[in-house]
Structures are given as structure tokens and as C-alpha cells.
């Protein structure tokens, strides 16, 4: 499904958000989109919340997320998902779970209820177990594999301090 997020401001100064009651610091220059995970089969939990994820071109996986944040924000149990693939990340073999990413529009850096589009994860989402969280990024990360699987375009305009994310036309 085509979608377009244009000229979204990069985080201009460090600030804290509290999706689902969890305090998260967004750091300067991070390209942050607000998302919700959607199971390949079934639906989202009625109490699931949108949360920030960093677009990270230095990450070659689809989506990485700490288990503690996954449980709080999605209200889902990773044990309930079938895993077909594994990936090697930061020296650890991790399972991929069948979820895709819904991207939401923002207004003044806050998420709205309007869904912009969906990103495909091809192999699924990596949920980093509690014992390994300290070795991984502290925030959910959308990687290059997801952008490629979704045929999405991600650009940064350094002069304007903005980024754009477009789904396939």
C-alpha cells in the first residue's frame, strides 16, 4: 500500500515520551517514526499502543525490539508466535516472529490515530530476550531489510533537518 511521510523533523533536542507508561528518551538527530506491530495472523491486542522506533540504516535486520518493551507496548506474548526463521545479531542467534509494522502519522512529533501505511518484515521481527537486552539497542529499530522488503524509500535532508519515508507507488 503506498504511503508518504514527508519532511518529518529529526529529533531536534533530547526529550522524553511515555508510551504505555514507559519513559523513553529520544535523542538528537534520530529519525523516529511511531509504529504498532501487527501479527501476520490475527489482530492486535485492544490495549496495544503506538511507540517510537528509530529508522537505522546501520541495521541490516528488519526490526529489533527489547522483549520488555514488546510485552508492555503490544500486550502480546512472544511464545504465542510461530518462528520460522532465525537471524544472527550481535553474535547471538535469535528467532524471528511473524509481525509487520504499521506506521502512523505524527503532528508536532506526537503520533496521531491515522495510520500512514504498513512495512513488511519478510522474515519477521526479532524480539530480544530479557537476558540479552543489554547487548542491543535500547529502542526498537527498523532496519534496512524491512525497507527493502517493503520497497520503501528513506531519505534524510540534512539541510532542513528532516527525513521522508515513502511506501511503494
Q: Residue 119: how many CB atoms within 10 A of its CB?
A: 25
CA distance 119 to 154: 12
CA distance 106 to 46: 21
| The pLDDT value given to residue 31 | 96
Which architecture, in CATH terms, is 4-166?
Beta Barrel (2.40)
| The pLDDT value given to residue 1 | 57
Mean pLDDT (10-residue bins), the chain, 169 residues: 88 94 94 94 85 93 92 87 82 90 91 93 88 84 95 96 90
Residue 133's closest CA among 50, 71, 56, 57? 71
* Pairing verdict, β 99-107 and 63-66: unpaired
Residue 37's closest CA among 25, 29, 45? 45
| The pLDDT value given to residue 166 | 94
> pTM score > 0.95 for this model?
no
CA distance 97 to 121: 10
Amino acid at each position: 500500500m503506498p504511503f508518504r511521510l514527508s519532511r518529518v523533523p529529526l529529533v531536534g533536542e533530547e526529550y522524553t515520551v511515555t508510551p504505555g507508561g514507559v519513559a523513553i528518551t529520544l535523542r538528537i538527530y534520530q529519525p523516529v517514526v511511531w509504529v504498532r506491530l501487527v501479527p501476520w495472523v490475527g489482530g492486535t491486542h485492544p490495549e496495544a499502543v503506538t511507540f517510537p522506533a528509530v529508522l537505522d540504516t546501520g541495521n541490516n535486520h528488519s526490526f529489533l525490539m527489547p522483549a520488555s518493551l514488546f510485552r508492555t507496548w503490544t500486550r502480546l506474548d512472544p511464545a504465542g508466535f510461530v518462528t520460522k526463521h532465525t537471524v544472527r545479531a550481535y553474535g547471538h542467534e535469535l528467532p524471528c516472529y511473524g509481525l509487520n509494522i504499521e506506521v502512523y502519522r505524527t503532528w508536532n512529533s506526537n503520533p496521531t490515530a491515522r495510520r500512514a501505511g504498513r512495512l513488511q518484515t519478510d522474515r519477521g521481527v526479532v524480539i530480544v530476550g530479557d537476558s540479552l537486552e543489554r547487548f542491543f539497542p535500547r529502542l526498537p529499530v527498523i532496519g534496512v531489510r524491512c525497507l527493502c522488503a517493503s520497497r520503501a524509500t528513506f531519505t534524510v535532508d540534512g539541510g532542513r533537518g528532516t527525513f521522508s519515508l515513502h511506501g511503494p507507488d
